[in-house]
Amino acid sequence: MRPRDENKATQLKQTAISMIVRDGIEEFGVNKLAKAVGVSPGTIYIYFKDKEALLLTLCEEVSATMLESSLKDLHPGMPFEAGMRLQWKNRYHFSQKHPELVAFIEKVRYTYVYESIEEKLTATYGKLLGAFIKKAIADKALAEMPFEVYWSLAFAPLYQLISFSRQQGDRKRKFVLTDTVLEKALARVLKGLKP
What is the pLDDT at residue 4?
78
| Same-domain status, 83 and 103 | yes
Same domain, 92 and 28: no
- Give the Cα separation of 27 and 20 in Å (integer): 8
76 and 138 share one domain = yes
- Domain hosting 120: range is 49-193
Q: Say if residue 40 is in the same domain as residue 63.
A: no
User: CB-based contacts of 153: which residues, under 8 Å, 6+ apart?
Assistant: 145, 189, 192, 193
Residue-level pLDDT at 97: 96
pLDDT at 169: 59
Give residue 57's pLDDT. Answer: 96
Q: Are 67 and 153 in the same domain?
A: yes
Q: Are 150 and 133 a contacting pair, CB within 8 Å? A: yes
Per-residue pLDDT tens digits of the chain, which is 195 residues long? 567 788 899 999 999 999 999 999 999 999 999 999 999 999 999 999 999 999 999 999 999 999 999 999 999 999 999 999 999 999 999 999 999 999 999 999 889 889 889 888 888 898 999 999 999 999 999 999 999 999 999 999 999 999 888 876 556 778 889 999 999 999 999 999 999
Query: Same domain, yes or no, for 96 and 35?
Result: no
**Do the beta carbons of residue 113 and residue 59 sit within 8 Å?**
yes
Note whether 88 and 131 are same-domain residues: yes
Residue 189 is predicted with a pLDDT of 98
Q: How far is CA 195 from CA 27, 88, 94, 140, in A?
A: 45, 21, 30, 7
> How many helical (H) and strand (E) elements, i.e. helices and strands, does the chain have?
9, 0
Element (H, E) at 97: helix 80-97
Look at residue 6 in the predicted model and tell me its pLDDT.
86
Give yes or no: residues 128 and 37 share one domain: no
pLDDT for residue 119: 87
Looking at the structure, tell me whether residues 78 and 137 fall in a common domain.
yes
Angle at the Cα of 51 (from 70 to 27), degrees rounded to 5? 85
pTM to 2 decimals?
A: 0.88
Q: Are residues 41 and 75 both part of a single domain?
A: no
Q: What is the total count of domains within the chain?
A: 2
- 62 with 125, same domain: the answer is yes
The predicted pLDDT at position 101 comes to 97
Q: Are 115 and 175 part of one and the same domain?
A: yes
